[in-house]
Amino acid sequence: MKKLKLEELGRISVDEFKEAEKLPVCIVLDNVRSLHNVGSAFRTADAFRIEKIFLTGITGTPPHREIQKSALGATESVAWEYSESSAEAVKQIKNSGYEILIIEQTTDSIPVHEFSPASGKKFCLVFGNEVDGVSDAVIALGDYALEIPQAGTKHSLNVSVCLGIVTWELFRKLKL
């Protein structure tokens, strides 16, 4: 076994990424305050060919040095849009035919591994603020609430870790 070099990975270029088929998934960051989490969201979205990221409320936007630290250039490949209102952005996305998947612990949330995405549908994953989670106005617009089962003393994961797990789970179910 040997570690592969970058040139052996066969990665596509930014231009090829922009033209490539995308997973029918977009991401909304609902008032995510950490620029490192924003950058991580871009990098994860690039890894799984997510259609677009919607940055809302207080969520920082590129170009920014702190976002670039963790995005490593993914702000160039992944489409994004800023909206002042998370709820308005989610309403527009829902009206465009996406099922809204709120990533939050709610009275109706189901474990992410038990969610079965219907073939032919489009999905929007909504991730909330590091302290307050997804806003109540956005939760009211959700079609499903998904959560990651946990067994430790903490009740949440860092938003970038959560985003990676949930996005991988949808990628695995829709693409592999």
Domains of the chain (ranges; CATH) run 18-148+156-175 (3.40.1280.10)
- Strand duo 144-147 + 110-111: pairing: parallel
Peptide bond into 63 cis (omega under 30): yes
Tokens of 36: 């490192």
Does residue 79 sit in helix, strand or coil?
strand
Structure-token match 């009211």, residue found: 140
71-89 confidence digits (pLDDT tens)? 999 999 999 999 999 999 9
4-54 confidence digits (pLDDT tens)? 998 899 899 999 999 999 999 999 999 999 999 999 999 999 999 999 999
pTM recorded for the entire structure? 0.96
**In the sheet where 144-147 sits, what is the strand order?**
79-83, 50-56, 23-30, 122-128, 98-103, 144-147, 110-111
Query: For residue 176, what pLDDT is reported?
Result: 60
Give Cα 30 to chain centroid, integer Å: 10
